[in-house]
């Protein structure tokens, strides 16, 4: 089974949409409705979320990527400790893990979750198609980063036919509507440094589309990159490269090229491993192979989602909140690796894929397991 970017609800950053789960009230049990990733409680109000609308952040679709066949590493025995926090990346003050930390100071897991997860900067997802307020909502994040002189990471996730109708299905009603949404999204980027993760799974999972539909999607993605970079020359835009356990580098590079990822006018490179578990070493090698096959200017680089890859991918291919996983490298824009622009937490650790909690919602027990492994 292939694991797509993640299951969150297509409510993205709607105001007041989700409250932190209360473990004492059996909140770690999976429930039928789908919810979303980082919540922005204080942003301009968007329409009330629908429990049936999917979004990004941790779940599969019927055609998800296979995990790596490598044996599962043994669980780490190191004691949990406070990790260094990047002074370059922006941590938005609203997220599900921060909600939980604020509401559960007396919980025995509080210190570990606060110091190892909540203190770290993570991406903010925009997964609901709400064109009327998307500019203001994006601006609320980018202006917060600019005020601190730090770089926010934002995820655009509303491509039509998202997730091929799987657990994260949804998105804009048409490519024309998507193009308009991107224009409005770009208008909120401001002029400061910002990283844009452009549509997880939109390229790696494109086999579910007909050749004509795929070409149209890729043309729209190429346009999106140009619009984003024209709106803010300091924006860095990264395109979907899947992960090391999915397509061969040459095949993925060919699709990326069609989607504009080889052009400096629309792209700064690629992202990999979003909401997945493959080791950083495997992703470094894979990203460099994809970049070599992609061509384009030498300035193109890669960012890797390291949020849950500390112990690598399960040998059995399990994608849904697999046991024995651990936090990966903390977010940074200083990797010390050629052509690797950053290690990012695109998927927020502790947000469930649907097996240790409601899809896309925060599970304290899952977060603690990741943080103490």
Decide if 353 is catalytic. Answer: yes
SS3 content of the chain, % helix, strand, coil (to 5): 30, 10, 60
Return d(Cα 292, Cα 271) in angstroms, integer. 14
Contacts of 165 (CB under 8 A, 6+ apart): 61, 62, 208
Is 201 catalytic? The answer is: yes
Torsion angle defined by CA atoms of residues 74, 80, 81 and 85, in that order, rounded to the nearest 10 degrees: 70
Given the residues 99, 128, 201, 268, the one annotated as active site:
201
Is 341 a catalytic site residue?
Answer: no
- Spatial CB neighbours of 82, under 8 Å, sequence gap ≥ 6: 115, 116, 119
Q: Decide: 269 and 301 in contact? Cβ < 8 Å.
A: yes
From CA 300, how far away is CA 268, in angstroms rounded? 5
The beta strand positions in 182-262, using DSSP E, are 194-198, 235-240
Instruction: Decide: residue 59, CB within 10 A, 0-12 exposed, 13-18 middle, 19+ buried.
Output: buried
Give the active site residue among 28, 99, 128, 163: 163
Q: Which residues are catalytic?
A: 163, 201, 353
């Amino acid at each position: 089974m292939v694991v797509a970017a993640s299951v969150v609800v297509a409510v993205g950053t709607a105001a007041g949409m989700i409250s932190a789960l209360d473990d004492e009230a059996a909140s770690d049990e999976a429930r039928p409705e789908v919810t979303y990733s980082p919540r922005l409680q204080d942003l301009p109000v968007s329409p009330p979320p629908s429990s049936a609308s999917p979004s990004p952040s941790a779940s599969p679709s019927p055609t998800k990527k296979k995990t790596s066949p490598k044996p599962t590493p043994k669980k780490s025995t190191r004691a949990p400790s406070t990790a260094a926090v990047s002074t370059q990346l922006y941590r938005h003050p609203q997220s599900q893990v921060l909600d939980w930390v604020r509401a559960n100071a007396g919980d025995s897991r509080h210190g570990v979750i606060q110091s190892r997860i909540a203190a770290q900067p993570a991406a903010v997802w925009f997964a609901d198609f709400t064109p009327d307020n998307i500019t203001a909502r994006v601006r609320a994040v980018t202006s917060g980063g600019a005020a601190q002189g730090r770089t926010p990471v934002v995820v655009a996730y509303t491509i039509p036919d998202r997730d091929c109708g799987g657990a994260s299905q949804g998105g804009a009603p048409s490519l024309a509507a998507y193009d308009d949404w991107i224009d409005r999204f770009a208008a909120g980027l401001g002029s400061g440094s910002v990283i844009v993760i452009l549509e997880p799974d939109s390229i790696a999972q494109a086999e579910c589309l007909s050749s004509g539909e795929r070409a149209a999607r890729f043309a729209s993605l190429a346009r999106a990159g140009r619009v984003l970079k024209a709106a803010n020359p300091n924006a860095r835009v990264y395109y979907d490269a899947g992960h090391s356990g999915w397509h061969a580098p040459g095949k993925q590079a060919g699709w990326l090229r069609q989607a504009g990822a080889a052009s400096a006018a629309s792209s700064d490179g690629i992202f990999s491993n979003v909401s997945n578990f493959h080791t950083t070493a495997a992703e470094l090698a894979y990203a460099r192979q994809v970049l070599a096959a992609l061509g384009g200017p030498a300035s193109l680089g890669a960012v890797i989602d390291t949020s849950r890859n500390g112990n690598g991918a399960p040998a059995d291919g399990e994608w849904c909140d697999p046991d024995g996983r651990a936090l990966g490298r903390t977010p940074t824009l200083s990797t010390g690796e050629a052509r690797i622009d950053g290690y990012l937490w695109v998927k927020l650790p502790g947000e469930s894929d649907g097996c240790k909690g409601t899809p896309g919602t925060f599970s304290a027990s899952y977060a603690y397991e990741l943080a103490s492994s």
